[in-house]
Chains A and B, each alone.
Chain A
Amino acid sequence: MAEAIQKKLQAELEKYQQLQKDVSKSMSARQKLEAQLTENNIVKEELALLDIQNTVYKLIGPVLVKQDLDEAKATVSKRLEYINGEIQRYETLLKEMERKSEQHREVLSSLQQEYQRAQGQAVGKV
């Protein structure tokens, strides 16, 4: 009886650990996105400071490609929107994972209790 519970406990624990890893991965991805968000915001502001006379280049691989100022501004805005969308997506994903991990935690605690009880009984029997 105790062994069965222990096995169940182990399985549950592994699942929980996996879930936690996923959570951390999503969290780091979200962090990266946030970094990009701030960066692009600054770029947007600085582009606003420039005038049409300044040539804007985009680094694509090893090449600096000339861009139009307005085009650059539009591109940056679009990128910002994209980043925001991604962040939202990750947010929902994280919430979901958090909920699942919570469930797992509850299961784990109940299993743990069962296991302890079983152990107690086993000790009593012995």
Chain B
Amino acid sequence: MCVSDTLQKMHVHIYRQCISVIITVNYSCIVARKQSLFQHMLSTLPKCIEQAKAYSTVVTVGSLHAVKLLYVKVVKDCRSQFEHWKKVENDYESLQERLRTLPDKLSYDIMVPFGPLAFMPGKLVHTNELTVLLGDNWFAKCSAKQADALVEHRKKHVKNTLDDLQKVMKNFQNRADFTDDLEKLTGDTGDFVDIREEVINEEEVTKAKHRLAHKANSKPKQEYLLDLEEDKEKKEGDEEGTTGVLSEEELWARLDELERQEELQDERYRLDSTDTNGEDTTSSSEEEKEADGGSDVQVNGHQKENGWVPTSITSQMNGTNGSHPEDEEEEDCDEEAGNGLPTIYFSHTAEFKKVRINTGKNTTLKFSERNEQKAQAKRKKKSGKSNGHSPHESYKITSPADIYRVFVDLVNGEPIPRKSILKSRSRENSVCSDTSESSTADFEERRAAFGRSWSHDDATHSDTSDGITEEESPTGTSPHTNGCFEAFTSTVIEKDPLPCSIPHLTIAPPALPTIPERKLEEVGPEAPQEPPKWMSKFKATRLHQK
């Protein structure tokens, strides 16, 4: 549409006019006398600063790049002016020097300029009498010292203008840099990584204050843009205001769009991962692998470990360590909306920190997600397995708590924590099973008691986990026969010393109840099957359970 083009041209035209005014003034100053040059520049400078502000108003439609160009232009102009004023200051300095030395002699022999092309020898007399241009066609006869004072006074003005220029330059430089960053964030991946967390289970809303969603977090940057628009002088502000608002809306629309794309991608990923997890749960040949020795397990464990290490590294890099999801129940979504950024999908399970390890009669192992584990226990009962295959499982151990979670016995289809991890699975239910079997009945109430007392004691942990643990512990006691355990990241009270180093740490997703169901054969395929994107073990567990 030609009209919009015309309007745009008009704005550009006015913008150009402003620049041309400045340029003409500058050029005129160069040819003028020093005094008037100073005056001119001094007088135009406030206007230049206003022009600089006006530049920020001439925002061409939409793109950040154009805005950035404007800022860069302003900064360049400021810099050139700064150079100019610096030169003026230097000239005044040399003038002052001359004034100081001039009255030393009564007269000087000099070459007097005679027209534009000739000089002639002459004398400079009355060396102390100076006619000074004060400005606006006013002259004054002064002594050298008085002239010196006047020059000093003028230098003060020049310094003020230099400072103003500096400020403006810095300001616009910052703005330019900021638009740069903004462009990078919205466009390229840069060094930023988006961390997203899908909240699947709405009941698991914790007491802790959750941070705002993506869009809200990206608002500060939008607000900055708004500020820029507010800075405008209203001369051309309205037109640009509307276009600026449009561009902002465009940005929002784009963010929405990209967010939707991300979700679609995520759905796809999830489908893939559920497929792989589904295989694990349904496979039933785990029992055959029961007899495999530790070497196999070790090998697999190592493979697992290697496979998982990069992901754990990435997870750590991004600050949301999978090993402590309980600690971070709040989203750390400070980054801009992940439009095209590498995304890390972070998910919580309800496994909180409160875990007491029970590897015998002395400690309890608690999990917070009792319902889930109830279901898992039921499933296990159905499948009718009673083996302890945790070393063979491919779980990701990222915290000491995981160790206890991983290495459990399955007694009557329920996971029971082991007294000693090193004890081989081949001994099957005999491993500490007497302790767990005998204490099955009172295990639960002990656990519940522990849970309640523990939740009371442990004030340092988040209130959310406290609350939920307390909620769940009374509810979980009756239906549970055994084995709802929580991840433990606090103190472990053990009577029997446990091995600190487990050479074949198998890295596996959490959720112990499902561990026994895992087959050894899956250990191998799971390593290569490891999803390219990092998935929290909790999420994996949850998906697996689905």
Contacts and interface: CB of A to CB of B under 8 A. Distances in A.
* Co-assembled chains A and B: yes
Interface of A: 9, 13, 16-17, 20, 23-24, 27-28, 31, 34-40, 42-43, 45-47, 49-50, 54-60, 64, 67, 72, 76, 79, 94, 98, 102, 105, 108, 112, 115-116
A38 B42 contact: yes
Given A31-B47, A49-B150, A116-B1, A39 B17 contact: no
B43 A34 contact: yes
Nearest to B10: A20
17 contacts: A13-B6, A31-B21, A35-B44, A35-B47, A38-B43, A42-B39, A42-B154, A49-B146, A49-B150, A50-B142, A55-B141, A56-B139, A57-B138, A57-B139, A58-B138, A58-B139, A115-B3
Nearest to B14: A24
B285 to A, nearest CB: 68
A98 B136 contact: no
List the 8 closest pairs (A to B, CB-CB), nearest first. A35-B43, A59-B137, A57-B139, A43-B135, A38-B43, A31-B47, A55-B141, A39-B39
Interface string B230-249: 00001100110000000000
Contacts of B141: 54-57
A55 B154 contact: no
B140 interface: yes
B159 to A, nearest CB: 14
Contacts of A57: 131, 138-141
A9 B1 CA distance: 12
Contact of A35 (B3, B40, B153): B40
B7 interface: yes
Contact of A54 (B3, B44, B140, B239): B140
Contacts of A60: 137
B247 to A, nearest CB: 17
A49 B47 contact: no
Given A13-B6, A17-B10, A39 B139 contact: no
Given A13-B3, A17-B10, A98 B235 contact: yes
Size range of the chain B interface in the assembly: 35 or more
B10 A47 contact: no
Contacts of B17: 24, 28
Interface in B140-161: 140-142, 146, 149-150, 153-154, 157
A34 B150 CA distance: 22
A20 B21 CA distance: 16
Nearest to B233: A98
Nearest to A16: B10
Contacts of B134: 42-43, 46-47, 56
A43 B136 contact: yes
Nearest to B133: A59
Interface residue SS majority, chain A:
helix
A15 to B, nearest CB: 12
B384 interface: no
A116 B234 CA distance: 28
Nearest to A116: B1
B39 A50 contact: no
B238 A102 contact: yes
Contacts of B14: 20, 23-24
B43 A37 contact: yes
Contacts of A72: 138
Contacts of B3: 9, 13, 108, 112, 115
A46 B150 contact: yes
Which of B1, B39, B134, B238: most chain A Cβ within 10 A? B134
A42 B235 contact: no
B4 interface: yes
Contacts of B1: 112, 116
A34 B136 contact: no
A13 B5 CA distance: 12
Contacts of A58: 137-139
Contacts of B43: 34-39
Interface in B325-350: none
Nearest to B154: A42
Contacts of A98: 234-235
Contacts of A43: 134-136, 138
Most buried by A among B14, B17, B135: B135
B46 interface: yes
Contacts of A27: 18
A37 B44 CA distance: 10
A88 B157 CA distance: 24
A100 B465 CA distance: 64
A76 B136 contact: yes
A17 B13 CA distance: 10
A77 B142 CA distance: 21
A46 to B, nearest CB: 5
Contacts of A115: 3
